[in-house]
Amino acid sequence: MQKGDILTVNIEKLSNLGTGIARINGQVVFVENACPEDEAKIKITKVNKNFANAKVIEIITPSAHRVKPFCPMHNVCGSCQLQFIDYDYQLALKKQIVEDAMRTIGNIDTPVNNPIASPEIKEFRHKVQCPVSQTKVSKKLLAGYYKPQSHEIVNIKYCPIQPKICDKVIDFIRNKAPEFNISGYNEQKNSGDLRHIVIRHSAYNGELLIALVINSTKTSGKLSSFAKAIFEEFNDVTGVCINFNSKKTNVILGEKTICVCGQDFIYEKILDKTFKIGAATFFQINPKSAENIFKYVKNEISKHENAAVLDAYAGIASFGITVSDIAKKVVSVEENKESICKAKEVLELNSINNVELQCADTTKYLKSIKKKFDITILDPPRKGCTQEALDETLKHTKKEIIYVSCNPATLARDLKYLCKKGCTVESIQPFDMFCHTYHIENVAIINI
């Protein structure tokens, strides 16, 4: 098998990165935009020692689960990898991804439950982050999403997975910015003004918070005037902020954000709690699916009367706040100062007085205390927990760990380590937070 070869294959399953898997003479071939049960003609694009990559040239016999993508930009945009597969089968494939990770990485034999579907599969994405660039000749601004495996921007004017108002805001910014002499960002040269447009949209009341990420360390008159123009154009925009990021980096937001017009937050409601979400605040992009997760975790904790709960990697203490009325005491630990500040405001807003906030690294905090908690909620970033963090969690937890993860691979790795330490995995429940992608959220219940 060589690069450029054209072959006919049957797609067996889906990889953990959303590509189809075929085998040629025993060697694995990862095929883009392929669905299990497809018979396809493919072209080999890369050959490695243990596997090869390929793209589909022709679908000879389509899988029964193939559907027409509802987004006209699906073939060129890299955001919704699985939109050509019917939604119920997407869920089945995601369950398989979790099962494969548990078996091959974690050596975990706990059955994986069927995923809980997202309540909405269109207009579900309430946080939008659009990179911005500029054409060389016409100097036209481009804003959208990257093509697959590239940093080439697809200029998207309609995205059906985000609220329609977001399309209107992005289009206004794209067309109006040149009038204020605001240029798009050149990634190679680290030049230009506007790097990203970040929008927070409230599923609760429809309000929007806009953040313009600029390639600078300070604002200017033209940027302030432009922010005011955005604010005045849209009734639902409650605030426009400027975020400063002049570093040559793939990180979207810089460390400093100022509010130029209006307020620097929107309200969101989860279960019966009201949250204040800032431009740089971590909060789930799919609030209605997130609500299913919070409800699930809250139900699990309610099985333990008057539980003392540790909410680790807490962000704005979303879990701590939503379970506060069925817990005796919650300690929410988060190292981001802005998130802690927002959490304080949310506690006051909801008149909650049994949640203690700690601005600290989780591992360092646990090393500094002697007390134990009945239940620990772990909600780490995609990289998962360090072994040191897991060791400290075990030292300070009496009954149960609830591990919330957006990465099946690192979850499986961490569960394997906890099992070696004597824990048992009671259940693994997937939740579909990121529809039409290979990503899947999971909640694992671990008995100590």
Same domain, 182 and 255: yes
What's the pLDDT score for residue 147?
Answer: 84
> How far, in Å, CA of 312 to CA of 51, rounded?
39
Q: What is the CATH number of the domain that holds 190?
A: 2.40.50.1070
CA-based nearest residue to 260, from 203, 204, 214, 206: 214
Q: Is residue 365 part of a domain?
A: yes
CB 321 within 8 A of CB 346: yes
- Residue range of the domain that includes 4: 1-65
The CATH number assigned to the domain holding 39 equals 2.40.50.140
Can you tell me the mean pLDDT for 74-102?
94
Say yes or no: 115 and 222 in one domain.
no
In this structure, the chain runs to a length of 448
Does residue 353 register a pLDDT over 90? yes
Whether 287 has a pLDDT exceeding 90, the answer reads: yes
Cα–Cα distance measured from residue 317 to residue 327, given in angstroms and rounded to the nearest whole number: 14
Neighbours of 8 (CB within 10 A): 13
Identify whether 146 is part of a domain. yes
Instruction: Assign 3-class secondary structure to the chain.
Output: CCCCCEEEEECCEECCCCCEEEEECCEEEEEECCCCCCEEEEEEEEECCCEEEEEEEEEEECCCCECCCCCCCCCCCCCCCCCCECHHHHHHHHHHHHHHHHHHCCCCCCCECCCECCCCCCCCCCEEEEEEEECCCCCCEEEEEECCCCCCEEECCCCCCCCHHHHHHHHHHHHHHHHHCCCECECCCCECCEEEEEEEECCCCCCEEEEEEECCCCCCHHHHHHHHHHHHHCCCEEEEEEEECCCCCCCCCCCEEEEEEECCCEEEEECCEEEEECCCCCCCCCHHHHHHHHHHHHHHHCCCCCEEEEEECCCCCHHHHHCHHHEEEEEEEECCHHHHHHHHHHHHHCCCCCEEEEECCHHHHHHCCCCCEEEEEECCCCCCCCHHHHHHHHHCEEEEEEEEECCHHHHHHHHHHHHHCCCEEEEEEEECCCCCCCCCEEEEEEEC
Domain boundary among 223, 241, 269: 269
**This prediction's pTM:** 0.92
Q: What is the mean pLDDT of residues 428-440?
A: 97
Q: Report if residue 395 sits inside a domain.
A: yes
Q: Stretch 338-355: mean pLDDT, rounded?
A: 94
Give per-residue pLDDT as tens, 121-174. Answer: 999 999 999 999 999 888 899 999 988 778 889 899 999 999 999 999 999 999
Q: Which of 269, 296, 295 is nearest to 283 (CA)?
A: 269
CA gap 89, 35 in Å, rounded: 10
User: What residues does 52 pair with on adjacent strands?
Assistant: 29, 47
d(CA 436, CA 70) in angstroms, rounded, equals: 11
If pLDDT is split at 50, 70 and 90, which confidence band does 281 have? Answer: confident
- Work out how many domains the chain is built from and give that number: 3
Distance CA 133, CA 421 (A): 50
Q: Compute the distance between CA of residue 339 and CA of residue 334 in angstroms, rounded to an integer.
A: 7
**236 and 167 in a common domain:** yes
Report yes or no on 391 lying in a domain: yes
pLDDT digits (tens, 9 = 90+) for 302-325: 999 999 999 999 999 999 999 999
Q: State the average pLDDT for the chain.
A: 95
In a domain, 399, yes or no: yes
pLDDT single digits (tens) 214-234: 999 999 999 999 999 999 999
Whether 70 is covered by a domain: the verdict is no
Nearest partner of 59 among 27, 86, 31, 28, judged by Cα: 31
Please list the residues that pair with 132 across neighbouring strands. 143
Backbone phi and psi for residue 384, each to the nearest 5 degrees, phi listed first: 80, -160
Is residue 82 within 8 Å of residue 74, measured between CB atoms? no
The b-or-e profile of 309-320 (16+ CB within 10 A means b, else e) is: bbbbbbbbbbbb
pLDDT reported for residue 245? 96
What is the phi/psi pair of residue 353, to 5°? Answer: -125, 10
The CATH number that applies at residue 104 is: 3.40.50.150
User: Is residue 299 domain-shared with residue 443, that is, in the same domain?
Assistant: yes
Instruction: Assess whether pLDDT exceeds 80 at residue 395.
Output: yes
242 and 290 together in one domain: no
pLDDT of residue 415: 98
If asked whether residues 262 and 320 sit together in one domain, one would say no
The proportion of the chain whose per-residue pLDDT surpasses 90, expressed as a percent, equals 90
Burial class (CB in 10 A: 0-12, 13-18, 19+), 112: buried
Same domain, 298 and 431: yes
Average pLDDT over residues 53-75: 95
Evaluate whether residue 183 is within a structural domain.
yes
Predicted local confidence at residue 212, as pLDDT: 97
Task: Based on the fold, state whether residues 341 and 378 are members of the same structural domain.
Answer: yes
Is residue 12 exposed (0-12), middle (13-18) or buried (19+ Cβ within 10 Å)? Answer: middle
| pLDDT value of residue 412 | 98
CA-derived radius of gyration, the chain: 23
Among 80, 166, 359, 406, which one carries the catalytic annotation?
A: 406
Statement to judge: residues 322 and 384 lie in one domain = yes
Residues 103 and 139 in one domain: no
Q: Is residue 72 part of a domain?
A: no
Active site residue 166: no
115 with 135, same domain: the answer is no
Same-domain status, 294 and 336: yes
Instruction: Residue 353: count other Cβ atoms within 10 Å of its Cβ.
Output: 9
